[in-house]
Chains A and B, each alone.
Chain A
Amino acid sequence: MWRFLARTIVQRLLLLVVISIVSHTVIHLAPGQPTEVDPMNPMMKAEDIARIRKSFHLDDPIYLQYVHWMKDLFTGELKSFRDGLPVLSKIWPRFFNSLPLFACTTLIVWTASFPIGIQAALKRGSKFDRGTTLVAYTLISIPGFFLSYLLILWVVRSFHLPVIGLRTFGTESATGLVRVMDRIWHLVIPSLMAALTGITGIAVLSRYVRAQMLDVLGQDYVRTARAKGLDEDRVVYGHALRNALLPFVTMFGLLLPGLISGSVIFEQIFAWPGLGLLSYEAILARDFPMILTLNFMAAALTLFGILLSDILYALVDPRIRLE
């Protein structure tokens, strides 16, 4: 176990280095310079541009730029091209804005998918099963921003309530309870939209649950459990569901990267100042240090998530040995 851990961690770290080199090269070799973002600005003189390029090491060879980036990243010195503020200090507050959105979305997805999937599997071929199947496919197929706009349209027209942003404008002086309720309301709508659509949403997960339950319900041990006269609830939840749950443990780890990259569209629609919106702004501004750092963090989270799911899988399934 420990040897496995040590070896995987070393492998993953190597992989992370390769990823950082590849992404650094891709971004620096792509056309489009950070200094060209605002070519019409009369205040930008040629010598200013040269000075800025020099201070951000933009004229160095690409491998030196990589070394600078890595060194600055790990000493916390890395500055954003846009405003010269340290990248990490810009990321932290955004991270704490994204976290509730991510947590709420995950909570909705996981609490809704299991009952739906289990019911659909138990009543295979019934109206409920076919209905949820069709709804699931529709949700997978709908552009997330299309559905979100329709919902915004409906909420604004019928309830006259604001849904955009972290909180309603002008509630800063309200009482504590009102403020909390307002925050929750503003959190629920985007989370619900992110939970409904997309490939990590309710639609896909409930289909997995259904397929997994169908698979397990056809196993011999379920028939044995029924044959020895256990009541149906015990068979379904005690014997079948416990075994069907195994693969989902691994999915927990794979959720992690969604924290950074999963929410660009929804944060953009709902003007939610999180990591997704931050990366979108960074891309528009050709803010290479910010793009690269966010990309690096996302890759690190992905690798960590895979490791986590391997370990979790070994913990819950005694048949799996990590070697």
Chain B
Amino acid sequence: MSIPVDPVPAIEALAPRAEAEALGIAETPAQQLWRTFRKDRLAMVGLYVLLGLVIVALLGNLLTGWWVVFDPTTVRLPDKLMPPLSVPSAALASELRPPFGSYPFGTDELGRNVFARMLQGSFVSLSVGVVAVGISLSIGVTIGGLAGFYGQRKLGPVSIDTLLMRFTDVALCFPTFFLILTVVALLPPSIYNIMIVIGITSWMSIARFVRAEFLALREQDFVTAAKALGLPEWRIIFRHMIPNAMAPVLVSSTINVAHAILTESALSFLGFGVRPPYATWGNILADGRSYIFDAPWLFLIPGGAILVVVLAFNLVGEGLRDALNPKLRKRAR
């Protein structure tokens, strides 16, 4: 048997290699993943939605922040609560007129252009989700990796594994949403605090996944081989083990982004969300509920947008889970 020096991802190690050879295709794991993922129509729709969202968010940040075409903060009191696709009234001063002479998503109670606010909010909402998950990912991978790799070492009377995993248990016992609410309410209001708090309350499942994967990977031949070759520990961890432990982490991070966006909107609803001048979909939605009878678009547009985006994240996450699961893949053939 040859000694695999480069990482042999778990997916490939688990799938019968003879089958791939029989098909006459030498696939990288990424290609294999993509091929299975592509068959899932719902997940593909989700992926397209997410790609669209990223483009909209970047464009939105560009057009509302740096090169202001759509100004989300302009207050136009004569044009309060205009329905979508309406044109500005004649009473409006010419410098306040919206671009292209219409309000695609209507205006809110201060006459602000909802389209511009949604554009700005797309970037903020997305970054709340992504940054929060980035934080939870780095905590989770660190703790899970340490517990999985150095677990046997002793720190005084207890092993590192026991220490870190009991700590994870403590963190799991806090009622998460309640804790987020408490901390966000007590800390000075800022968008960064919300990202951090959501991040540090959602790393536990990732830590557990990484630990479980590491415990399994430690016993595998390629890790033994890497050790026998005398590779330094950091190289074994970062080049060989972490890439192979990423499958469940990837799935749960995708779904966690969806959760973070929902949590942000729930916090906004309770009045602890991202403060002005930032517009997020969550706080546009939360503000819109006061006008639900007079101006339902203020409620329906951000709500629908959140629904579509969170749904897309969930579908992509589930699609990834199926594509990464070798048991399911075999069944699908």
Residues of chain A touching chain B, judged by Cβ–Cβ distance below 8 Å, are 15, 18-19, 22-23, 26-27, 30-32, 134, 137-138, 140-146, 149-150, 153, 199, 257, 260-261, 264-265, 268, 279-280, 283-284, 286, 291, 294-295, 298-299, 302-303
Out of A140, A260, A280, name the residue touching B181 (CB < 8 Å). Answer: A280
* Besides A142-B306, A145-B269, A264-B178, 16 other A-B contacts (C-beta < 8 A): A15-B173, A27-B186, A31-B187, A137-B311, A140-B310, A141-B311, A142-B307, A143-B265, A143-B285, A143-B307, A146-B303, A261-B178, A283-B181, A295-B174, A302-B173, A303-B173
**18 chain-A/chain-B pairs, Cβ below 8 angstroms:** A22-B170, A27-B186, A30-B183, A30-B187, A31-B188, A32-B187, A141-B311, A141-B313, A142-B310, A143-B262, A143-B265, A144-B266, A146-B306, A261-B178, A294-B178, A298-B175, A299-B174, A303-B173
Q: Which residues in chain B, 86-127, are within 8 Å of chain A measured between CB atoms?
A: none
Residues in A whose Cβ lies below 8 Å from that of B296:
153
A295-B178 contact given A137-B318, A143-B306, A149-B289, CB 8 Å threshold? yes
Q: How far is the CB of A11 from the nearest CB of chain B, in Å?
A: 9
Closest to A133 in B: B42
Residues in A whose Cβ lies below 8 Å from that of B176:
261
Residues in B whose Cβ lies below 8 Å from that of A144:
266
9 tightest Cβ-Cβ pairs between the two chains A and B? A261-B175, A30-B186, A141-B310, A141-B311, A146-B303, A261-B178, A298-B175, A32-B186, A283-B185
**Is B186 touching A153 in the complex (CB atoms < 8 A)?**
no
- What does DSSP make chain A's interface, helix, strand, loop or mixed? helix
Residues in A whose Cβ lies below 8 Å from that of B265:
143, 145-146
Beta-carbon contacts of B280-313 to A below 8 Å, as 1s and 0s? 0010010001001100100100010011001101
A138-B311 contact given A19-B170, A27-B186, CB 8 Å threshold? yes
**Is B314 touching A298 in the complex (CB atoms < 8 A)?**
no
Out of B175, B181, B292, name the residue touching A153 (CB < 8 Å). Answer: B292
B258 at the interface (CB under 8 A from A): yes
B169 at the interface (CB under 8 A from A): yes
Residues in B whose Cβ lies below 8 Å from that of A19:
170, 173-174
Q: Complex: how many Å from CA A145 to CA B290?
A: 13
- How many B residues face the partner with a CB closer than 8 A? 42
A295-B170 contact given A143-B262, A146-B303, CB 8 Å threshold? no
B315 at the interface (CB under 8 A from A): yes
Q: Complex: how many Å from CA A257 to CA B179?
A: 13
Residues in A whose Cβ lies below 8 Å from that of B299:
146, 149
- What does DSSP make chain B's interface, helix, strand, loop or mixed? helix
Out of B172, B178, B311, name the residue touching A279 (CB < 8 Å). Answer: B178
**Is B266 touching A145 in the complex (CB atoms < 8 A)?**
yes
Q: Complex: how many Å from CA A261 to CA B179?
A: 9
**Is B178 touching A298 in the complex (CB atoms < 8 A)?**
yes
Q: Complex: how many Å from CA A211 to CA B174?
A: 28
B182 at the interface (CB under 8 A from A): yes
**Is A265 touching B270 in the complex (CB atoms < 8 A)?**
yes
Out of B185, B187, B266, B311, name the residue touching A265 (CB < 8 Å). Answer: B266
Residues in A whose Cβ lies below 8 Å from that of B153:
none
Closest to B184 in A: A283
Closest to A294 in B: B178
Q: Complex: how many Å from CA A138 to CA B307?
A: 7
Q: Complex: how many Å from CA A22 to CA B201?
A: 14
B166 at the interface (CB under 8 A from A): yes
Q: Which residues in chain B, 232-274, are within 8 Å of chain A measured between CB atoms?
A: 258-259, 262, 265-266, 269-270
Residues in A whose Cβ lies below 8 Å from that of B187:
30-32
Residues in A whose Cβ lies below 8 Å from that of B303:
142-143, 146, 150
Q: Complex: how many Å from CA A109 to CA B259?
A: 21
Q: Complex: how many Å from CA A279 to CA B169?
A: 23
Residues in A whose Cβ lies below 8 Å from that of B192:
none
Q: Complex: how many Å from CA A154 to CA B303?
A: 16
Residues in A whose Cβ lies below 8 Å from that of B179:
23, 295
Q: How far is the CB of A288 from the nearest CB of chain B, in Å?
A: 10
Q: Complex: how many Å from CA A295 to CA B186?
A: 15
Residues in B whose Cβ lies below 8 Å from that of A26:
182-183
Out of B169, B181, B314, name the residue touching A15 (CB < 8 Å). Answer: B169
Q: Complex: how many Å from CA A181 to CA B315?
A: 41
B150 at the interface (CB under 8 A from A): no
Q: Complex: how many Å from CA A279 to CA B259?
A: 22
Residues in B whose Cβ lies below 8 Å from that of A199:
259
B48 at the interface (CB under 8 A from A): no
Q: Complex: how many Å from CA A31 to CA B249?
A: 34
Residues in A whose Cβ lies below 8 Å from that of B42:
134, 137
B34 at the interface (CB under 8 A from A): no
**Is B170 touching A15 in the complex (CB atoms < 8 A)?**
yes
Residues in A whose Cβ lies below 8 Å from that of B182:
26-27, 283, 291, 295
Residues in B whose Cβ lies below 8 Å from that of A265:
266, 269-270
Q: Complex: how many Å from CA A106 to CA B173?
A: 21
Residues in B whose Cβ lies below 8 Å from that of A22:
170
Residues in B whose Cβ lies below 8 Å from that of A15:
166, 169-170, 173
Q: Complex: how many Å from CA A137 to CA B49?
A: 15
Q: Complex: how many Å from CA A150 to CA B293?
A: 11
The residue in B269, B282, B285 that gathers the most chain A C-beta atoms within 10 A of its C-beta is: B269
Q: Complex: how many Å from CA A284 to CA B272?
A: 10
Q: Complex: how many Å from CA A167 to CA B126?
A: 40
Beta-carbon contacts of B137-177 to A below 8 Å, as 1s and 0s? 00000000000000000000000000000100110111111
Closest to A146 in B: B303
Q: How far is the CB of B117 from the nearest CB of chain A, in Å?
A: 17
Residues in A whose Cβ lies below 8 Å from that of B169:
15
